[in-house]
Amino acid sequence: MITINTVSKKYGQAEVLNVEKIEIPRGQSFGLVGNNGAGKTTLFNILLDLIRPTTGEITNNNVVVNKSEEWKSFTGSFIDESFLIGYLTPEEYFDFIGDLRGMNKADVTSFLAQFDEFFNGEILGKKKYLRDLSKGNQKKAGIIAAMMGNPQVVILDEPFANLDPTTQIRLKKIIKTLTDNKEVTVLVSSHDLSHVTEVCERIVVLEKGNVVKDINTSQETLKELESYFAA
Partner 1 sequence: MITHFLKLEWKQYFRSSYWQKGIALKIIMGFFVLYLIAVFLGIGIGGYFILKKTFPEQDPLQIVNSMLIFAILGDLIFRYLMQKLPVMNIKPLLILPIKKDKLVHYVLGKSAFSGFNFLSLFFYIPFAIVLISQGYNVAGVLGWLFAMVFIIQAVNFLNFLINKDNRVFAFIATLLVSLIALQKFTSFDASIYSQQVFDGIVANPILGLVPFATAIVLYYVNYKQLRDRVYLDDVVAVKVEEANTADLSWTERLGDVAPFIKNDIRLIWRNKRTKTVFLMSFLFLFYGLVFFTQETYQKMPAMLMFASLFVTGGFALNYGQFIPAWDSAHYKMLMSQSFRYRKFLESKWFLMVAMTSVLYFMSIPYLYFGTKIFLMITCGAIFNIGFNSLFLLYAGSFNRKRIDLTKGGFGNTQGTSATQFLIIIPLMLFPMAIYWVFDKFIGYNSGFIAVALVGVIGMVFKNYFMNLIEKKYIKDKYAMINAFGKEA
CB-based contact 130:90 (threshold 8 Å)? yes
Contact code string over 94-113 relative to partner 1, x by CB under 8 A? -xxx-xxx------------
- Figure out which of the listed residues 26, 131, 182, 223 binds partner 1, where binding follows CB under 8 A: 131
| CB 168 to partner 1: min, Å | 23
- Figure out which of the listed residues 5, 15, 54, 129 binds partner 1, where binding follows CB under 8 A: 129
**Considering beta carbons, is residue 37 or 86 the nearer one to partner 1?**
86
Query: Three-state SS across 143-191?
Result: HHHHCCCCCCEEEEECCCCCCCHHHHHHHHHHHHHHHHCCCCEEEEEEC
Q: Should residue 86 be labelled a site residue for partner 1 when binding is judged by CB under 8 A?
A: yes
Q: Should residue 185 be labelled a site residue for partner 1 when binding is judged by CB under 8 A?
A: no
The torsion region of residue 23 among left (phi > 0), alpha (psi -120 to 50) and beta comes to: beta
d(CA 10, CA 206): 16
Contact code string over 46-65 relative to partner 1, x by CB under 8 A? --xxxxx-------------
Tell me 136's DSSP state: H
Q: Should residue 89 be labelled a site residue for partner 1 when binding is judged by CB under 8 A?
A: yes
Give the DSSP per-residue string, 58-95.
EEETTEETTT-SGGGGGEEEE-SGGGS-TTS-HHHHHH
Sole window of 16-24, 25-33, 93-101, 182-190 interacting with partner 1 (rule: CB under 8 A): 93-101
**Considering beta carbons, is residue 128 or 213 the nearer one to partner 1?**
128
CB-based contact 173:179 (threshold 8 Å)? no
| CB 125 to partner 1: min, Å | 10
Angle of helix 105-113 relative to helix 90-100, nearest 10 degrees, comes to: 120
Closest by Cα among 49, 221, 213 to 57: 49
Q: Should residue 85 be labelled a site residue for partner 1 when binding is judged by CB under 8 A?
A: yes
Q: Should residue 143 be labelled a site residue for partner 1 when binding is judged by CB under 8 A?
A: no
- Figure out which of the listed residues 35, 55, 62, 73 binds partner 1, where binding follows CB under 8 A: 73
The number of residues in the chain equals 231
**Site residues for partner 1 per CB under 8 A:** 48-52, 69, 72-73, 75, 77, 79, 82-89, 91-92, 95-97, 99-101, 126-129, 131-132
